[in-house]
Structures are given as C-alpha cells and as structure tokens.
C-alpha cells in the first residue's frame, strides 16, 4: 500500500512540476520581457490555467499529509523557511492575476507576478536540494537539524537548475503559444535555458554520487546501475533533439522534448530516492499512515484520479 | 515580553491570523456561487437579458475573492506541517485524509471549472456553461463540507483512540459523521450563504441609494431577499442547535460562552446573563445584566433546566479556555448580528409585499436601503466572531480532550515563526487594502448593460490564444 501511494504522489508531483513548471517559467521570463505590453501578453497566456495548475500542489500537499503524515510533518518543519519563501511567492503570483486586471499601474502587479514566480521556484528548488542532501532526523523520524540546513552551495545549485528547467519549459510553452517576434525571443531563451539546464543537471548528476554515500551505493546497486547509466544518456539525447528542434524553429517539438526531459529526470530522482521518503533514513513504510487510512484514502481519491487526468486533458483541448 | 519569543504562542497567533484572514474570501465565493447558479438559471429559463448582466457583474466580485482566497488558503494547508508537525503526525491518518479529499475533490472542481465559468461565456454552449457554474458552486460548498468535517472532528474526536500519541482510526465513517459534524457544516453553509446574500443586497442597496440602475439592482436585492427569507431564520434555528450540542459535547466551551462559573443543576430555574464583565482571576462576574429564567428558556424551552449546565469551576484551571471575555462577547456579537439580519429580512419582506420594492418605489426606501448597506459587512463580522467562539472556545485543546495545543506545535525556532508571522501581517495588510480598493473600483465601474448575450458576434474569441481577454467590462 505505501508503494501505491508513493507512485500516486509521484504522479501528482510530476503533473504539478510540468504544469506549474511552465507557469512559473513564464512568470520568471516575464521579468526579462522588453516591454509592458509583452509582459501583459505573457501573463494573459496563463490567465485561465494557473489556478487549475496550482491545484495539483494543493492535492499533493493533502495527499502527502494523509498518506505519509510523518514525512509531511518532518519535511515541512525542516524546510520551514524555503516553504514559506514558496508560499509568499505564490501569494504574490495569485493575487497579481486578479489585481492587474483592475489596476492602472500594471507594472507593479506584473512585477509582483514575476518576482512571486521566481520566489516560488526558488523555495521549491531549495526544498528539492535539501531532499537530495538528506534531512537530519532521529530514530523516530523527527527533525533534528537546524533552521539553516537547507541553505548550502549544493542546494543552491539544485535550486538554480530547477529555475533553469522551469525557464526552459516556460520558453517552449511560449513558443507553442505565441508568434512573431515574441516567439523569436523565446527560441533564444529556450536555447539558452537548455544549455544552462544541461550544465546544472550535469553537475548535480555528477556531484550527487560524489558527495552523498547513500546515493552512491544506490546508484551502483544492480540491476539499477544499468537504468541509472541509461538515464543520463537518454537525457543527452533528448537535449540534442530539443536543441535541434529549436534550431529548426519547430513549434510543438521543443515543448514535447522538454516535457519528456522532465519526466526522465523525475524518474531518475524517484528511483534514487525510493524507498525513502525522508532521505537518507526514513522509508515510505516507516512514514506511512495506517494501512486502513491508506485504503480509505485510496477508495475516495483513487477513483477520482482517472477523472482528474481526463479532465486535465479536456481542459487543454483546442477551443478552450 | 517573553511571549513574543514563544514558538507556541507565535504559531497560534499566526494560525489565527492566517485562518481568520483566509476565511473572509471563501465565505463570499461559497455563498455567491449559489447566487450565481440561481441568477444564471433564471437567465437561461427566461432569456431576460438583465439576468445575464447580473451573472456577469457579480462574477467579477466572485473572481476577485477567489484569487485572494486561493492565495491565502495555500499557507493554511502547509502550516499544519510547518507549524503543527506533532499534531499532523498524530492525527494525519484521519485529518490528513480529509484535507486530501478537500484538495482533490472540492478545490479541483472549483478551480477547474472556474476557467469555463469566467472565460467560457462565448466559447461553450449555454448548458455547458451553466453546468460549470453549478460545478464551481458545488466544489466550493464541498470544500466547506470537508473543512468543517475536519474541524468538527477536532471539536468532537470520535472514531478511534489515541495510542502512543498517535490517533488510530477504528471507524472512518464514525469519525466523519462525528457528533458535531452535521451541525457545523449546516451552520457554516448557512453562514456563507447569508453573508453573501447581505453583501449582494447591501451593494445593490448602495446603487439604489445612488440612483444608479435602481431597477437593475432592485432585482438583485430582491433575489437576495427571497433566499434570505429562508436562510436567516434557519440560521438562528441551527445556531440554537449548536448550543444544545455544546452542552453534551463541549461543556467548557458553553460555560465560556456564557461566562458561567458555577454549575447550574437540573430541575432549577437558570437566568441568562445578557451582558457581563467576566473576571477570570476571581472566577466571578462582578457585574452582570441577567434575564430571569432566560437560560432555561433558551436551552430547554422551559424555566427549569432539564439537564445541568456545567460551570467553569468544575474544570481545573488548565483545562479551561483562556480569554473568557473575548469568547463571551464574540458570541454575543454573532448572535446579535444573526437576529439583526433576520429582522432586516422581515421588515424588507413586509415592504416588498406592500409593493414598496417595485422599480418605481424602491428609490424612496432610503432608510431600508441604508440598513441593507449597513448590513453588508455584518455577515463577515458574525463569521469571524463565531470562529473565535469555536476555536478559542476549544482551547486549551487542539483536539478536544486529546491533544493539547502546547503539545501540538512544531519545534521550530521562535524567530522563524516571528519572521513568517511578520511577513503574513504585512502582506495580508496589503492584500486587504488592495482588495477593498479594487472591489470599490469594480463597484464604481458598475455593470455593463450593453454586453451582448453569448452567441451574438462573439465567435472571434475562439481561435487565437494570446492575448486571452477578460470580459470586456473588466478590461475596459
């Protein structure tokens, strides 16, 4: 049962990262937009999707709370500051959508939107970096570290890489959704972001096994070692395809390759962490709620998952 | 001053601040969702374009509230982990599941269909649009259901027991249908609806007073009034049920609400202290205004009490709620507003029956319109006051009788909480002022009565993606 919930949560998180990823990426990109008009176009391109995209974060939070209460409690306590950085970022972002519609000073709220997106991505990046690095806990799984554990050059590297990844998927989304000179701009930002993401991801991939014993052992475990060898190769292939599609000015392909790249990195991360949920010591079995709770939640949420996915697909359908 | 560096105190202040701020927005979207369903239903049935314009106009306020509701709601979900980790760990099996349901069923529905409700007028068929409006309203009310279920379980935790500091659920349905649940959900459902009705009515009255589209807003006021005729008295009845229920399940809360220090035995008459100055230190009310037989009449509909009402002195001081005067007066504010709104509804209904609310008469009803304008914010005050009674009255327990608030808080440095609390205070302050400012702007702008109904010269919006325009009356 804990495994089922691990997979469900991973699915929610993946959906979230992809959907809100381009959202946040577009937000960060809006900070660099050359004119107020462009900034407005970037924001309106998200007008009817951001709230639904953010839903996946709400769903994820609730499901983590219910299925793995210990992990929810420990991780959120350990990451107090990055979580609040993210939350404050989201607050600015969410209200910026409403307020700019009614405001005469669009610049103020457009900036709030961009800065909010950046802060949200930054908080998430530090949180992700801390998961890589591991969270210090006692035998019962309670946090024993200090309030600044999440801040180090390793976590900063992960945070910057994640931001680059979001910028990449945001750029390819905009290539898909815009035309003319705006689209040309984003071919450039996408290419740039593809390279910076590649460098960041490369560093993270190399440094993780070097720095963290547990990750190294995990990586060298058979038969997983073959999969772990395959992932970077596939990633390089995907980035190659992505860069080629960008050079050829394809409209849809860059987004597709980027999404696949996200899925691939995500699988790599999942395999690296599994079966731990608070790396490096608490497994999903230790952190899981009572089996009856897991079944109860599955009965209620399980049947909704196909509906939610179907609806997500419909919402993206042309004409809306 | 040591208080200001106490993690538990700061976490409580932060939760109180964020929840009481957050609540302001969904209260309106939840109730107004039903109003919008009503108005759009009348539009589809009668094809009277005025109702279409009503739906469009009120949707703008809906959207403004929804945005701030989402923004301020996100911290609520995460605070259970950041600030209340021991609580989350202890009750995650049940409480976490319920929050998960809220996110996956209720919020998903509301946020998902909101896009169609706001942007879909000219893009989807009327039936689909109406279905979306219904889904948005349904989703918001489903949120109320799950959140109040989780909260009422904290008031009356049943369905399992605490084993080694962890709440082990034996029966999920017993926990969901805990003794407080139906009453709590009903009370909150009516509160959101009643608040929204009087906000819609109050704003309409403001337009009528200013002679702006009086026939248009007379209509929306009458729709609100028609629903209020059912809701306002019903809310008083449900509120009364709550008090009876507290006598059984949360005696300390009832005692705090009534500043009742001594136990009142069954079979004897009991006075109702209408007003008092509770003194927690000496455990007496040095001054009070009492109605003889009042409490007996209220609780048991006869002068003598049928069952005893326990007094605060029956409980050890560490098991009594703090801030008795706050609870006492918040309760009276809530009840007073409930009766005022019901009275306003009655007077307005009489005037309506006398034909005084007709298009050519309504602008003459200056005093009535002023009363409605005055009533517009009262629902919010009642909701906040009620929430204080509910939550402060539950103290010193987070889960009544099981988990103390002092044991429920995370062990994070107080400086961190002080930092997040300060930021919340500043940001929420900005949001509140901005919301009022932009709300006012929407109202000053007024409804767009020129807006063509869907299907007339509006096909162009369908194909191109960017920019995705808001309704024309907003972006104008």
Who contacts A153 (Cβ-Cβ below 8 Å, separation ≥6)? none
Q: Please tell me if residue A73 touches chain B, with a CB cutoff of 8 Å.
A: yes
End-to-end CA distance of chain B: 52
Nearest C-alpha neighbor of A239 from the set A185, A269, A201, A204: A201
How many residue contacts between A and B have a Cβ separation below 8 Å?
A: 231
Contact assessment for residue A138 and residue A111, using Cβ atoms and an 8 Å cutoff: no
Answer yes or no: do A320 and B468 touch at CB < 8 A.
no
Which residue of chain A is at minimal alpha-carbon distance from B434? A99
Interface contact flag, A94 B71, Cβ < 8 Å? yes
- Find the residue in A nearest to B172 (Cα): A296
Specify whether the CB–CB gap between A42 and A29 falls below 8 A: yes
Q: Which of residues 88-117 of A touch B (CB under 8 A)?
A: 88, 90-95, 97-99, 101-103
- Interchain pair A76, B468: CB under 8 A: no
pLDDT at B462: 39
Q: Work out the end-to-end distance of chain A between its first and last CA atoms, rounded to an integer number of angstroms.
A: 38
B440 CB within 8 Å of a chain A CB: no
Q: Which H or E run includes B273? A: strand B272-276
Contact map slice: B 112-131 vs A, CB within 8 A: 112, 114-116, 118-120, 123-124
Q: Do B103 and A61 touch (CB under 8 A)?
A: yes
User: Burial code of A53-74, b = ≥16 C-beta within 10 A, e = fewer?
Assistant: bbbbbbbbbbbbbbbbbbbbbb
Q: How much is the pLDDT for A274?
A: 81
Mutate to test the interface with A, among B26, B89, B110, B414 (most CBs of A within 10 A): B89
Closest alpha carbon within chain A to B121: A320
Q: Which of A72, A297, A277, A119 is nearest to B78 (CA)?
A: A72
The 3-state DSSP class for residue B330 equals helix
Residue from B93, B98, B128 to probe the interface with A (highest A Cβ count within 10 Å):
B93
- Compare CB distances from B104 to A59, A84, A95 and report the shortest one's residue: A59
Using CA atoms, how far apart are residues A263 and A204, in angstroms rounded to an integer? 17
Choose among A39, A312, A10: nearest CA to A174. A39
- Stated as kind and residue range, the H or E segment containing B323 is none
Using CB atoms, pick whichever of A48, A73, A95 lies closest to residue B431.
Answer: A95
pLDDT in tens, chain A (320 residues): 888 888 888 888 898 888 888 889 988 988 888 787 888 888 877 866 777 778 888 888 888 888 888 889 899 988 999 999 999 999 998 888 888 888 888 888 888 989 999 999 999 999 998 888 888 888 888 888 888 888 888 889 999 999 999 999 999 988 888 888 888 888 888 888 889 999 998 898 888 878 887 778 877 877 778 888 888 889 889 999 999 998 888 888 888 999 998 899 888 888 888 888 888 888 888 888 888 888 888 888 877 778 777 777 666 554 44
Tens-digit pLDDT profile for residues B360-373? 888 888 899 999 99
Nearest by CB to residue A77, choosing from B81, B102, B466, is B81
Q: How many Å apart are CA A83 and CA A72, to the nearest integer?
A: 12
A66 contacts in chain B (CB < 8 Å): 92-93, 96-100
Q: Which two tokens stand for residue B84?
A: 């209340």
Q: Note whether A147 contacts B413, CB cutoff 8 Å.
A: yes
List the single residue in B102, B124, B442 with the smallest CB-CB distance to A62. Answer: B102
Q: How far apart are CA B32 and CA B44, in angstroms?
A: 18
Nearest residue on chain A to B99, alpha-carbon basis = A62
| Chain B residue numbers touching A102 (CB-CB < 8 A) | 64, 438, 441-442, 474
DSSP H or E segment with residue B268:
none
Interface contact B420, partner A, CB < 8 A:
yes
Angle between helices B378-392 and B7-46 (to 10 degrees): 140
Chain Cα centroid distance, residue A222? 28
Nearest to B102 by CA among A8, A58, A70, A315: A58
HEC profile of chain A: CHHHHHHHHHHHHHHHHHHHHHHHHHHHHHCCCCCHHHHHHHHHCCCCCHHHHHHHHHHHHHHHHHHCHHHHHHHHHHCHHHHHHHHHHHHHHHHHHHHHHHCCCHHHHHHHHHHHHHHHHHHHHHHHHHHHHCCCECCCCCECCCCCCCCCHHHHHHHHHHHHHHHHHHHHHHHHHCCHHHHHHHHHHHHHHHHHHHHHHHHHHHHHHHHCHHHHHHHHCCCHHHHHHHHHHHHHHHHHHHHHHHHCCCCCHHHHHHHHHHHHHHHHHHHHHCCEEECCCEEHHHHCCCHHHHHHHHHHHHCHHHHHHHHHHHHCCCCC
Mutant choice from B22, B74, B475 vs A, greatest count of A C-beta within 10 A = B74
pLDDT 10s digits, B55-76? 999 999 998 898 899 889 889 8
Who's near A77: CB < 8 A, 6+ residues apart?
A143, B81, B82, B85, B410, B411, B412
Q: By the 8 A CB rule, do B101 and A62 touch? A: yes
Using CA atoms in the order A171, A173, A175, A179, what is the torsion angle rounded to 10 degrees? -120
Q: Do B108 and A65 touch (CB under 8 A)?
A: no
Chain B residues closer than 8 Å to A92 by CB: 427
Of the candidates A44, A80, A91, which has its C-beta nearest B72's C-beta? Answer: A91
C-alpha B456/C-alpha A144 separation (Å) is: 64
For residue B176, give the 3-state DSSP assignment. helix
Closest chain A C-alpha to B85 CA, distance in angstroms: 4
Nearest-Cα distance to chain A for B319, in Å, is 27
User: How many C-beta neighbours within 10 Å does residue A206 have?
Assistant: 11
Tell me, yes or no, if A260 comes closer than 8 A to chain B by beta carbon.
Answer: no
Asked if residue A90 lies in contact with residue A116, where contact means CB atoms within 8 angstroms, the answer is yes
Interface mutation vs chain B, best among A13, A42, A53, A73, most B CBs within 10 Å: A73
**pLDDT value of residue B114:** 86
Look at A300 and B105 and tell me if their CB atoms are within 8 Å.
yes
pLDDT of residue B194: 95
Which residues in chain B have Cβ-Cβ distances shorter than 8 Å to A97?
67
Domain segments of chain B: what residues? 3-263+310-463
Closest CA to A68 of A147, A3, A149, A135: A3
Which string of DSSP letters, residue by residue, matches B403-422? EEHHHHS----HHHHHHHHH
Residues of chain B predicted below pLDDT 50: 457-476
Rounded Cα gap, residues A62 and A68, in angstroms: 10
Burial A277-298 (b: 16+ CB within 10 A, else e): bbbbebbbebbbbbebbbebbb
Cα dihedral A113/A118/A124/A128 (nearest 10): 160
3-class state of residue B446 by DSSP: coil
B271 Cβ under 8 Å from any chain A Cβ: no
Chain A interface includes B411 (CB < 8 A): yes
Question: In which residue are the tokens 């309670």 written?
Answer: A142
CB contact under 8 A, B64 and A98: yes
Rounded to whole angstroms, how far apart are CA atoms A111 and A28? 10
Measure CB to CB from residue A66 to each of B96, B419, B441 and give the nearest one: B96
Q: What is the pTM of this model?
A: 0.88
Q: Do B104 and A83 touch (CB under 8 A)?
A: no
């Amino acid at each position: 049962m804990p495994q089922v919930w691990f997979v469900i949560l991973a699915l929610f998180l993946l959906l979230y990262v992809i959907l809100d990823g381009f959202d946040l990426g577009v937000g960060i990109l809006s900070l660099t937009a050359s004119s107020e008009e462009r900034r407005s176009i970037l924001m309106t391109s998200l007008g009817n999707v951001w709230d639904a995209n953010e839903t996946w974060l709400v769903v994820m939070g609730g499901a983590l709370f219910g299925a793995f209460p210990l992990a929810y409690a420990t991780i959120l306590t350990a990451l107090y500051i990055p979580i609040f950085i993210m939350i404050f970022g989201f607050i600015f972002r969410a209200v910026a959508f409403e307020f700019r519609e009614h405001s005469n000073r669009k610049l103020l709220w457009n900036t709030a939107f961009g800065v909010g997106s950046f802060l949200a991505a930054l908080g998430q990046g530090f949180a992700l970096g801390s998961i890589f690095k591991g969270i210090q806990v006692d035998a019962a799984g309670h946090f024993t570290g200090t309030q600044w554990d999440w801040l180090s050059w390793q976590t900063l590297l992960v945070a910057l890489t994640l931001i680059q990844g979001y910028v990449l998927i945001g750029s390819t989304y905009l290539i898909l959704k815009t035309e003319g000179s705006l689209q040309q701009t984003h071919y450039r930002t996408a290419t740039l972001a593809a390279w910076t993401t590649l460098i960041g991801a490369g560093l993270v991939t190399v440094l993780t096994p070097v720095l963290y014993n547990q990750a190294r052992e995990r990586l060298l475990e058979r038969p997983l070692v073959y999969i772990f060898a395959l992932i970077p190769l596939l990633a390089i292939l995907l980035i190659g395809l992505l860069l080629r599609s960008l050079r050829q000015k394809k409209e849809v392909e860059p987004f597709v390759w980027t999404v696949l790249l996200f899925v691939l990195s995500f699988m790599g991360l999942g395999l690296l962490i599994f079966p731990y949920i608070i790396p490096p010591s608490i497994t999903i079995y230790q952190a899981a709620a009572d089996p009856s709770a897991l079944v109860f939640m599955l009965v209620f949420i399980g049947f909704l998952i196909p509906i939610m996915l179907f609806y997500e697909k419909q919402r993206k359908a042309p004409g809306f | 001053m040591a208080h200001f560096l106490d993690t538990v105190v700061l976490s409580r202040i932060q939760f109180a601040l964020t929840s009481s701020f957050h609540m302001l927005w969904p209260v309106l979207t939840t109730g107004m969702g039903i109003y919008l369903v009503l108005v759009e239903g009348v539009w589809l049935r009668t094809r009277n374009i005025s109702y279409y314009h009503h739906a469009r106009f009120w949707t703008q306020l809906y959207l403004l509230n929804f945005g701030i509701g989402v923004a301020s709601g996100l911290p609520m979900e995460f605070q259970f982990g950041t600030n209340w980790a021991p609580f989350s760990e202890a009750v995650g099996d049940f409480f976490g599941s319920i929050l998960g349901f809220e996110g996956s069923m209720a919020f998903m529905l509301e946020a998902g269909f909101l896009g169609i409700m706001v942007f879909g007028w000219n893009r989807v068929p009327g039936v689909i649009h109406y279905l979306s409006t219904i889904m948005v309203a349904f989703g918001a009310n489903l949120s109320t259901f799950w959140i109040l279920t989780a909260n009422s379980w904290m008031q009356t935790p049943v369905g399992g027991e605490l084993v080694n500091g962890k709440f082990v659920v034996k029966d999920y349905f017993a926990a969901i249908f805990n003794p407080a649940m139906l009453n709590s959900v009903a009370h909150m459902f009516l509160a959101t609806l009643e608040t929204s009705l009087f906000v819609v009515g109050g704003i309409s009255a403001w337009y009528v007073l200013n002679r702006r589209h009086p026939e248009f807003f007379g209509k929306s006021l009458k729709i609100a009034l028609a629903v209020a005729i059912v809701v306002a008295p019903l809310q008083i009845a449900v509120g009364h049920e709550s008090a009876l229920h507290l006598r059984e399940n949360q005696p300390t809360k009832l005692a705090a609400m009534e500043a009742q220090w001594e136990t009142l035995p069954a079979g004897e008459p009991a006075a109702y202290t209408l007003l008092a100055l509770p003194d927690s230190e000496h455990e007496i009310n040095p001054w009070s205004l009492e109605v003889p037989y009042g409490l007996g009449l209220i609780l048991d509909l006869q002068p003598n009490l049928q069952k005893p009402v326990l007094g605060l002195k029956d409980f050890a001081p560490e098991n009594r709620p703090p801030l008795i005067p706050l609870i006492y007066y918040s309760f009276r504010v809530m009840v007073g507003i409930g009766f005022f709104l019901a009275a306003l509804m009655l007077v307005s209904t009489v005037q309506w029956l006398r034909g005084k609310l007709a298009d050519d008469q309504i602008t003459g009803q200056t005093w009535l319109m002023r009363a409605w304008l005055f009533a517009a914010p009262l629902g919010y005050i009642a909701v906040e006051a009620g929430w204080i009674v509910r939550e402060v009255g539950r103290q010193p327990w987070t889960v009544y009788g099981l988990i103390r608030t002092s044991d429920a808080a995370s062990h994070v440095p107080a400086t961190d909480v002080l930092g997040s609390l300060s930021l919340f205070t500043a940001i929420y302050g900005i949001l509140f002022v901005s919301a009022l400012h932009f709300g006012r702007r929407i109202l000053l702008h007024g409804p767009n009565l020129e807006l063509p109904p869907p299907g007339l010269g509006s096909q162009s919006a369908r194909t191109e993606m960017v920019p995705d325009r808001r309704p024309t009356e907003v972006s104008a």
